[in-house]
Every structure is written in C-alpha cells, then in structure tokens.
Amino acid sequence: MRFIDTEWLLSLAATSVPIAALAWAMMADDARPNSRGATDLQIMSAEIVDRLNGDILWAPATASTDVVTRMGDEARSVFGPIPDIDCGDASAKTIPLEIDGNIVDLKPNPGKAGHPLEFEHRDISGAVVKWTSEIAACDKPSLAGNVTYCGMNSRVTRKVKGSVEWVALCRKSRANLEIDPEPYWQESDPTFARLGIIGFNRLTGEIVFFDGANDRHSFDWRKPFVPPGGHSYFDQEGRAAASVLYDPGFEIQCSACHDNKSPYVISPHIAQARIGYRDGATGAAARAFSLGDYLPRTPHSEDLPFRVIGSAYTAIYGNDLARAQTVRDPSGTCTECHTLTTGMTGQRLAADAAGRDPFVAEPDWTQLVRLRAEQTKLDQIAGHRTRWATRAGAGGIHPWMVPKEGGKVASAPSQITESDWQALSNCLWQAGGAECGYRPLYTPCPPPADPFGDSAQPSALTATIGPPAPGAIGADRLLSIGWSYLNDYGHVPERDDVRFNLVVRSSPVPASSDPPAQADYPTVAQARGDAFVPFSGEVGASGDAILIRDIAYTGHRRFTDPMPSTTPRPYRIDLPVQCNRRYLARLLPKRSCFDQTGTRYADKAIPIYADIACN
C-alpha cells in the first residue's frame, strides 16, 4: 500500500505510509452512479458513510436562512467572536462639536431664568465664551450628507482582539438634518438615531458592515447591543434579538464611503487630532477637543488586500464593488500617502479636503447628472461650515488636507493647484486613462493553499485500518483517513471558513501493479463537485466518482462554533472499505468566501492511491 503525492506535497512524494482502500459497496464497478439514478446499494452505502461522519460534514454559516443571522454567522466564521456593541461603555468616546474654534455642548443655561437648554461654547482652556440658543453652522460638518450636519454627542467605540477590530458609531441625527436645543442632543441622553458597525482584519483587509434597522427610529446605548448572529449558533435568544435589531436590506451602502482599505474614514467631523487643527496633533486645541489616537493611523497602500464580507450585502452591491478602482494622482500630490478611489473617498472626501469642486473634463450625460448632484451635496455641507473654518476666516482649517503636508493645514503651499486638481478629479470620476493608474479596489477571495494569499496546507496524512463498523453492510474493514490543518489566515484562532472535499474512484488492481497515471485519478472538477448528485447528506456522486463534501475538523459538529486554536487541528474521515481493489482519491480544500465569488477551491488537490490486497 502506498501514498503517492505528485502534485502538491512534494516533500511526501517518496514516502510510504500505511494507507488502505477508499472503497465501499457503492463504488464497485457494477454499482457506479449513472444517468439512470442511484441504486439501492449506492444509497445504502452513502447512508453508512453519512452516519459515520455526518456530524462533521457541513458548510459554515448555513444554520439559518434569516438574512441578518446568516450574515452574523458569516462574520463570526471569518473574524471570530463578535463583541457586544457597547457605546455606553466607559472606553467609548464622544464626538465633540466645534464652532469658531471652541467646543460646544448643550446644557441648562444658569444665567437665564428657568435655566433653558442652550449651547455652551468653551475655549481650549475650558472658559465659557458665550451661550447661544441655536446653531446654524459648525467648523467640521459631517460629510455623510444624509445625517445632521452639525450633530453633537454621538459616540464611537472600538474593540480590538489580535488582528481584528470592531468599530461602532452610535450617531445622533434628526430627519431635518439640523440641530435644535432639545434634550436629545445632550451627552446624558442615551438615545440615538443610527447604529453602524464595522469589523476589520488589518492583515487580510476583510471588512464587514452592519447597520441598525431603518424602520427603527431610536436606539438606546444604556444596554449593549447583541452582535449580529448572536454570540454563537446556540444563542437562540441573541439570534432572535439581532434579527430585528439590524437592517436586513442593507439600505445604507457603507462600502461607498468606507472604501479606503481601513475600518474608518478620518475626516474633521470625527475630530481626530491629526485632522482639522491648525496647530496640528500636538496643539492645544487637539489636546483639548480631539479623540486623540483612539482611531489610530492605519496603512492605506493600494497594494493591500481589501474584501467585503457578507453574501447578502455583496449580492446587493456586487456590481459597484466590481467597478470600484483605486486611483493614482497624475501629479503625485495626493496619493503618496492616501488611497483614493472612484468611490466617496475620492469623489466627496477628496473634493472637500482640497476645497475644490468636482470636475470631469468631458462628462457624458450620466457623469454630468452625478456631478451636479455631488456639487449640490458639497454646497449643502459648505453651507453648514463656519466662516471661521474657511481660508477667508481666522481659523484657516479648511481645506483640511494640503499637498505634501496632509493635515498640517498651517503649512505652505496651502492648496492644490487647479490644474492638478482637475487632472486628479477627472481620474476620480473614472474619466481618465493610463495616467490614473486604475486598479481594482477590492481584491479576490484567496483560495486555500495559495502561496500569494493563504498559504496554509494540509499535512501529516495518515490512514489506519480497523474492523468494519456495526451495520456497514458489505464492508470488509473500516478505513480512517486523517490529516492536520490550521486555518490561520488573518491570525484568527476561531476562523471557520475552510472545509475539505474528498473524492474517490475505484477500479480493479491492474495485473502489472504499475502506479496510476494522473488521468486515472478523479478530476479536480469532480473534487469540486461541479455535477454533484447527493445520495445522503453531503455524500453522493460526482461523475463516476464518490464525493464527500464539507469536511470539518474532528469534533467540529454541525452548527457549533470552533474552539480557538493556534496549532493544526486534526481531521478524519471514516469509510467502510473492501478488499482487492485500487482506489484513487483527491483531497481538496475550499474556502467559503461569503462574497460575490461564492466558494474558492485550491488550484490543486492532494492525490492518493492505494492497492488493497487482503490475502
């Protein structure tokens, strides 16, 4: 009996290990699957294989048909456990509102009878500058465009575990997009209008988006929110609560703005120390008002992987994801440090950051309509920006990004030239050519055993023979095939998006006992199951071979979350086998991508053959 690997694990090519036939009654020459359907013997044999292994034969994140619950299961399979979303936690940060270089909050005014709620303005030393009864503009209005421009006291929370982080924004907003002296806007009021959550793996660039249900007009951060999909497959109460908490239609296209290969988009509105302060991150205003480095700087290189997780989300926005591109600034001014794209980071944030109007040299009708709509939105944002914040005023913090110096707005030169901006904007609106250096923004899902992505491979293949299992009719022995494998892509110990297929073909042992040719093995297409016909569960026919699909690691029973591991996990398949046959098999790993690409298979499968002589 020999194990021969000629395609993949070359280090094992000449190794002989005790391996036996992958055979059972359903694979005999006179009982192969055919176009006339399965025989009773085939179905019986498949049922035996399913009974022996069925509890570990299951595709990840297939426990629920509910859109939100399934998306949560997919996210957990990629990112590991999702923490509770807790904007009321002590570590969460309040997003401040700044007007004329002062910080503003809504409080009872002690200087007026009845102490009405008014807006208190304090300078960087904490001294009260003035009180006002209304707010028409602020220094750093939101660029989102569909939320209150000068909202206050929204909260952001960030949790990190290894290479994965979760960022949630509990945003206060009103339908009229304006702010009034109502209790709702006070920091002590825990109600808010919009819940947004982003999960991100900084090593793999995988990102997932969830939003609170759009038919729910108020949320409350006094209690943590259960994560999508609950805490596990068994968390029925949490799964039920999550299914009504989150938006199943993904009405907000989060990827349109969060397209910069980062879990967050940094703008003046989010009040980072390095953006929107004339004296920079170490100045007095940044120290007094900003979130500091709560959301740290992350690399944004166009070479980094970046992929949206969520089969339901990507089914809706797949075309937009496929069209999105990164852009190189023809002048080299802006993309030395930033990743700009043909999405909102290019078309809105870049225009606002540079203080320029969107431009296309020769727009077609569709581009012209979109340009006018975007200009209208930018004008509305500008209409909510204080004069103090503009170049004409004393503040001078807008434009908020300057050539070469980035957020150091006091640096010179202070503005991109009009000609350089027009060349860049033309690229951002997908109207340029080779000078734009267009490349796909979103990168492909990596298959397992990919040297350029996920290089982990199965190892330590073994086989043991024992007496036939009870009820294994027609079997002479029980074969246990084992291997080891660690799904460590992204360094997530609980990652659970890889399974294995095992495809087997049987034939008589040739008289010469010569090793088989490659053409004798089942094909990789058969290992994929391109024409799979199920007989029992995940066991069935794949052409003239038998396929066992979706093999999880030993003990990883159907619809259970994996135990964390940083060492290879054991895998095993038990098969009833017969004597005096040659069996040829391929072992093929595959990844559930949970995106518009579906499932990605390894390019090669491990070939196995054995001649079994029981005499």
Going by pLDDT thresholds of 50, 70 and 90, the confidence category of residue 269 is: very high
The predicted pLDDT at position 21 comes to 29
The predicted pLDDT at position 109 comes to 97
* Percent of the chain scoring above 70 in pLDDT: 92
498 and 539 assigned to the same domain: yes
The predicted pLDDT at position 4 comes to 35
417 and 451 assigned to the same domain: no
400 and 433 assigned to the same domain: yes
CA distance 519 to 516: 8
Per-residue pLDDT tens for 509-523? 888 888 899 999 999
| Structural domain for 26, as ranges | 10-65+447-611
452 and 553 assigned to the same domain: yes
pLDDT mean over 288-307: 88
410 and 501 assigned to the same domain: no
CA distance 169 to 178: 19
471 and 489 assigned to the same domain: yes
The predicted pLDDT at position 470 comes to 80
397 and 467 assigned to the same domain: no
The predicted pLDDT at position 335 comes to 64
Number of H helices and number of E strands within the chain? 11, 25
Query: Among 407, 440, 473, where does a domain finish?
Result: 440
The predicted pLDDT at position 565 comes to 97
Q: Is residue 195 part of a domain?
A: no
DSSP state of 253: -
475 and 415 assigned to the same domain: no
Q: Is residue 529 part of a domain?
A: yes
DSSP state of 561: P
Q: Is residue 394 part of a domain?
A: yes
Let me know: does 410 contact 281? Beta carbons within 8 Å: no
Angle between helices 67-79 and 311-323 (to 10 degrees): 70
Let me know: does 259 contact 308? Beta carbons within 8 Å: no
DSSP β-bridge partners for residue 402: 406
- Number of domains comprising the chain: 2
The predicted pLDDT at position 413 comes to 63
Q: What are phi and psi of 195, to 5 degrees?
A: -115, 120
Q: Is residue 155 part of a domain?
A: no
pLDDT at 231 over 50: yes
391 and 479 assigned to the same domain: no
461 and 569 assigned to the same domain: yes
pLDDT at 388 over 90: yes
pLDDT at 17 over 60: no
Q: Is residue 98 part of a domain?
A: no
Let me know: does 441 contact 325? Beta carbons within 8 Å: yes
What is the overall mean pLDDT for the chain? 89
Let me know: does 464 contact 480? Beta carbons within 8 Å: yes
pLDDT at 39 over 80: no
The predicted pLDDT at position 18 comes to 28
pLDDT at 35 over 60: no
If one compares 567 and 4, the residue with the highest pLDDT of the two is: 567
pLDDT at 323 over 70: yes
CA distance 405 to 281: 13
Query: Among 392, 421, 440, where does a domain finish?
Result: 440
Report, in angstroms and rounded to the nearest whole number, the Rg of the chain calculated over CA atoms.
30
pLDDT mean over 462-479: 76
pLDDT at 220 over 90: yes
486 and 605 assigned to the same domain: yes
Per-residue pLDDT tens for 527-553? 999 999 999 999 999 998 889 999 999
Lowest-confidence region among 139-143, 233-237, 259-263: 259-263
Q: What are phi and psi of 55, to 5 degrees?
A: -70, -10
DSSP β-bridge partners for residue 169: 156, 196
Within 8 A by CB and 6+ apart from 511, the residues are: none
Query: Among 415, 440, 465, where does a domain finish?
Result: 440
Nearest CA-CA partner of 526 in 542, 510, 508: 542
Per-residue pLDDT tens for 395-452? 889 999 888 777 888 876 678 899 999 999 999 999 999 999 999 999 999 999 998 8
Q: Is residue 99 part of a domain?
A: no
Within 10 A of 369 (CB to CB), how many other CB atoms are there? 11
Q: Is residue 124 part of a domain?
A: no
Q: How far is CA 351 from CA 340, 343, 415, in A?
A: 11, 12, 12
If one compares 27 and 349, the residue with the highest pLDDT of the two is: 349
400 and 494 assigned to the same domain: no
